[in-house]
Amino acid sequence: MAPGPLSSSAGRYADRVETTKVAVIGAAGRMGAEVCRAVTAADDLELVGSYDQGDELGDLGGADVVVEFSVPAASPGNVAHCIEQGVHVVVGTTGWDDARLSALEEPLAAHPEVGVLIAPNFAIGAILMMRFAQQAARFYESVEVIELHHPAKVDAPSGTAARTARLIAAARSDAGLGDVPDATTQDPDGARGGRVDGIPVHSVRLRGLVAHQEVLLGGEGELLTLRHDSFDRSSFMPGVLEGVRHVGDHPGLTVGLEHYLGLSSEHDG
Ligand SMILES: NC(=O)C1=CN([C@@H]2O[C@H](COP(=O)(O)OP(=O)(O)OC[C@H]3O[C@@H](n4cnc5c(N)ncnc54)[C@H](O)[C@@H]3O)[C@@H](O)[C@H]2O)C=CC1
Ligand SMILES: O=C(O)C1=N[C@H](C(=O)O)C[C@H](O)C1
């Protein structure tokens, strides 16, 4: 089968002579282990280091690029270490609020050649879903985001849901839309869920799930549902490898893989 534009297949790179050296932080985790397998299977990439909690990161095994999938509390320190070592880094860990992003400015100013890609979701369908939700937002009075994940996930809402809600909120604001209509005055048990930038977000944790999200957009007499499902963590690998192969071409901080895919928009943060 011919590899797609985001294929993790190594075939299309078979004529390349040099390999990119890759290290993985969070290598013992669900995503880190999957990334180690994907890197090992790619002819143009070489796995030179794998690190988890308690390991000394040091020179990162001489890596050209680090892939970081750990926990929100540890990720900023790990990423800063990579930058200080002059190593590009592709980050999938969630929890990157404005304060954490700002803290990268200083190390990046000292190493302006280093590329940092932070992506809340590497699955192409999830990236498209966020873009479609952003495009649709101005046409609908109501919108709610429902994210559904495996019960081992520690953070809620998901990074993807938070980013989706922020993109929707910005698009609604630009279009002059006010608050979503909601007559609720009593909700002692929090049944209406949380809010991100005023957009209702609901988090489901269920055995058997991997990573799923719906965006419900309601207008007079109609409903538009945008849904994406990651049934397996392999769905994230083409995007991760795309990031690994191109992060060196994008010095400085980039938030969202869409910027590497020609899907940027003026509202992206
Ligand atoms: N951007 C994306 O496409 C995706 C992002 N994620 C995010 O990636 C992160 C990891 O997810 P999972 O692999 O499912 O979690 P996990 O819990 O299976 O793995 C996390 C790993 O990080 C390790 N760790 C903890 N502290 C560390 C430290 N200080 N240094 C290095 N490693 C440390 C843990 O020991 C564990 O092995 C989460 O924030 C999750 O939301 C998950 C899937 C896709
Ligand atoms: O923890 C997960 O599993 C996932 N985390 C990311 C998020 O929080 O958005 C990406 C994906 O949803 C899987």
Beta bridge partners of 23: 49, 66
Q: Known catalytic residue: 149?
A: yes
> What ipTM score was computed for the predicted complex, to two decimals?
0.99
Residue with CA closest to ligand 2 atom 1? 153
pLDDT at site 79: 98
Domains annotated for the chain, with CATH where assigned, are 20-118+234-260 (3.40.50.720), 124-182+190-231 (3.30.360.10)
Q: Known catalytic residue: 81?
A: no
For residue 8, pLDDT over 60 is answered with: no
Taking the C-alpha atoms of residue 261 and residue 138, their distance in angstroms, rounded to an integer, is 24
Shortest-distance atom of ligand 2 to CA 154: 1
Ligand nearest to the CA of 210: 2
pLDDT band at 15 (very low <50, low <70, confident <90, very high): low
pLDDT band at 1 (very low <50, low <70, confident <90, very high): very low
Taking the C-alpha atoms of residue 231 and residue 209, their distance in angstroms, rounded to an integer, is 7
Residue pLDDT, tens place only, 28-77: 999 999 999 999 999 999 999 999 999 999 999 999 999 999 999 999 99
The maximal CA–CA distance of the chain, rounded, in angstroms, is: 65
Hunting for tokens 């965006």 — which residue is that?
A: 215
239 annotated ligand-binding residue: no
The more confident residue out of 13 and 142 is 142
HEC-encoded secondary structure of 200-248: EEEEEECCCCCEEEEEEEEECCEEEEEEEEECCHHHHHHHHHHHHHHHH
Pocket test for ligand 2, best of 70, 160, 228, 231 (most atoms within 8 A of CB): 160
- DSSP of 246-264, one letter per residue? HGGGS-EEEESGGGGTT--
Residue pLDDT, tens place only, 116-134: 999 999 999 999 999 999 9
pLDDT band at 18 (very low <50, low <70, confident <90, very high): confident
Q: What is the pTM of this model?
A: 0.93
Is ligand 1 within 6 A of the CB of residue 125? no
Is ligand 2 within 6 A of the CB of residue 120? yes
Q: Are 215 and 235 in contact (CB under 8 A)?
A: no
pLDDT at site 269: 47
Q: Are 142 and 224 in contact (CB under 8 A)?
A: no
Q: Which of 149, 202, 228, 246 is catalytic?
A: 149
Taking the C-alpha atoms of residue 220 and residue 33, their distance in angstroms, rounded to an integer, is 46
Burial of 137 (0-12, 13-18, 19+ CB in 10 A): buried
User: Residue 54 to residues 74, 162, 211: CA-CA distances in angstroms?
Assistant: 11, 29, 28
Residue pLDDT, tens place only, 162-211: 999 999 999 999 999 999 999 999 999 999 999 999 999 999 999 999 99
For residue 16, pLDDT over 70 is answered with: no
Residue pLDDT, tens place only, 208-245: 999 999 999 999 999 999 999 999 999 999 999 999 99
Q: Residues, the chain, total?
A: 269
pLDDT at site 10: 46
pLDDT at site 6: 63
